[in-house]
Amino acid sequence: GLVDIGQILLAPFCDDDPLSESLDQICIEAFNFPAPLVELDDSNLVLELFHGPTSAFKDFGARFLAATLSRMNEGQREPLTVLTATSGDTGGAVAAACHDRPGLQVVVLYPEGRVSPRQEKQLTCWGGNVKAIRVRGDFDACQRLVKQAFADSELRSSVRLTSANSINIGRLLPQMVYYAHASLTHLRKHGEAPGFVIPTGNLGNAVACLWAREVGLPIREVVLATNANETITRYLESGRWEPQPTRSTLASAMDVGNPSNFERLEHLCGSWSKLRRRVRAIRVSDDEIRAQIQAGEEIWGRVWDPHTATAAAALDQLEPRDWIVVATAHPAKFELIVEPLIGHEVEIPATLAQLLDRPDHFEEMEPSLDALRERLTG
């Protein structure tokens, strides 16, 4: 299962570390919900990563990191502040994972008007040790503020900071676990290594899959499905890394014009030509996303969220082989997009429904380091 694979796969990364003795229990706490592999047809499957507390794939990494950070901070007089930028799902998963954990304070920056109402509710419903800040800017502005805060030596001398974005390797490593579990399950059942089609924004999920392949897991190929924010697609075509201003799309959690995990991709592969041999990228328009959501029930018997619909649209452009579509979020998180396209309501998972009735707690802020510094030290 996920727990057993996590304990084995992640052990070398905790070698000679105080956390090694706690790794088994951390995995038990983090991976306590399923990631089923469901058949779509004779050759294609979907990896459902939305069965955690906030109905998104970020629950895996966030819960592992929260369990890790709380143990690392035991015995410290000052709390550890977890500073996180989110384009939708990361912040909700981190808030849920860290809420009421002793020794942790959480500050989540999210872009005004760029997350769905239910995603925003998952950010603002906590209070207590979780501070949600609505930033008057896009996700790239939020991510830039986090990086600026970490580079500010004066701020870091007064506030103990860490991050739960994928710039923190403790958030990213555990995402290898579901790729390991899915690829091994597929190999055992079908006798060959699968390819993965991954909805792609900040490139963290892609890096986790490539890392899993790098350590020897049976992964044939990695295909990145991008929306109109196609910086990685253009790079693979031209060899030029040219970050673009963020463009708003239906797949809002993937609206990232300057993906921070590109550095890891580049380091892993070493050159443009080597990266092109390991990864493909396919751009998908909003019209194609809409078409996939509308046709999902008829073709696949599935209701897709916009991000998984992006991967399903990319699948249409691939040669027939064994592919696994990575389903990163439950469609009920994007009801304002999905329900008008399918003509009926999407059933809300019980864990999400519980959060919708809670009161909101959030602040608003201009995208400046001074404003952030004031909220971190005030």
pLDDT tens-digit series, residues 246-267: 999 999 989 999 999 999 999 9
Measuring CA to CA, how many Å separate 75 from each of 45, 70, 72, 158? 46, 10, 9, 18
182 and 321 both lie in a single domain: yes
pLDDT at 77 over 80: yes
105 and 164 both lie in a single domain: yes
69 and 154 both lie in a single domain: yes
* Residues 6 or more apart in contact with residue 92 via CB below 8 angstroms: 54, 56, 58, 86, 119, 122, 123
Of residues 339, 327, 221, the one with CA closest to residue 277:
221
Domain that holds residue 281: 2-55+171-352
Read off the pLDDT band of 57 (50, 70, 90). very high
Domain count, the chain: 2
**Backbone angles phi and psi of 352, in degrees to 5:** -70, -40
**Structure pTM?**
0.92
Percent of the chain with pLDDT over 70: 100
Of residues 330, 307, 3, 306, the one with CA closest to residue 177:
3
93 and 46 both lie in a single domain: no
Read off the pLDDT band of 18 (50, 70, 90). confident
217 and 332 both lie in a single domain: yes
378: which 2 tokens?
A: 């005030």
101 and 229 both lie in a single domain: no
What's the CATH code of the domain at 112? 3.40.50.1100
29 and 101 both lie in a single domain: no
* Residues 6 or more apart in contact with residue 296 via CB below 8 angstroms: 302, 303, 304, 309, 312, 342
Of residues 194, 191, 190, 237, the one with CA closest to residue 213:
194
Read off the pLDDT band of 67 (50, 70, 90). very high
**What's the rounded Cα separation, in Å, for the pair 22 and 56?**
25
232 and 140 both lie in a single domain: no
158 and 175 both lie in a single domain: no
pLDDT at 107 over 90: yes
274 and 338 both lie in a single domain: yes
Out of 58, 121, 131, 333, which one is annotated catalytic?
58
58 catalytic residue (yes or no): yes
Q: What is the mean pLDDT of residues 170-189?
A: 97
370 and 327 both lie in a single domain: no
Nearest-10 Cα torsion for 170, 176, 177, 180: -160
**What's the rounded Cα separation, in Å, for the pair 227 and 50?**
20
328 and 207 both lie in a single domain: yes
Read off the pLDDT band of 187 (50, 70, 90). very high
pLDDT at 216 over 80: yes
Measuring CA to CA, how many Å separate 299 from each of 280, 290, 313? 25, 14, 12
Q: What is the mean pLDDT of residues 355-374?
A: 95
pLDDT for 181: 99
> Judging by beta carbons within 10 Å of its beta carbon (0-12, 13-18, 19+), is residue 191 exposed, middle or buried?
exposed
